[in-house]
Amino acid sequence: MGITAIIDEMVRASLSQVKKSCLRAVPLGMSVFESRCLRAEAIAASRVCPTLAHKDW
């Protein structure tokens, strides 16, 4: 398992956590909140591997 696969797995895991908390907190179909959740996912992904986010693997 290469380093990129491990990183991908970490990012996926954190995104699914963010998505679950968003879905719990907000009823579906509310686009304003959904877009905020998408932004939160992007922020979470950048926090998981901030130093690796800008590297070109």
| 18-56 pLDDT tens trace | 666 656 555 555 555 566 666 777 777 666 655 554 555
Q: Report the domain count for the chain.
A: 1
**What pLDDT is recorded for position 4?**
73
Longest dimension (CA), the chain: 39
Per the domain annotation, does 23 fall within a domain? yes
Amino acid sitting at position 33: F
Residue 54 lies in a domain: no
Residue of 7, 4, 20 whose CA lies nearest to 49: 7
pLDDT on residue 23 = 60
Residue 11 lies in a domain: no
Residue 30 lies in a domain: yes
Banded model confidence at residue 9, pLDDT cuts 50, 70, 90: confident
Distance set, CA 57 to CA 7, 16, 25 (Å): 11, 23, 35
Axis-axis angle for helices 31-48, 3-25 (nearest 10)? 150
pLDDT > 50? residue 57: no
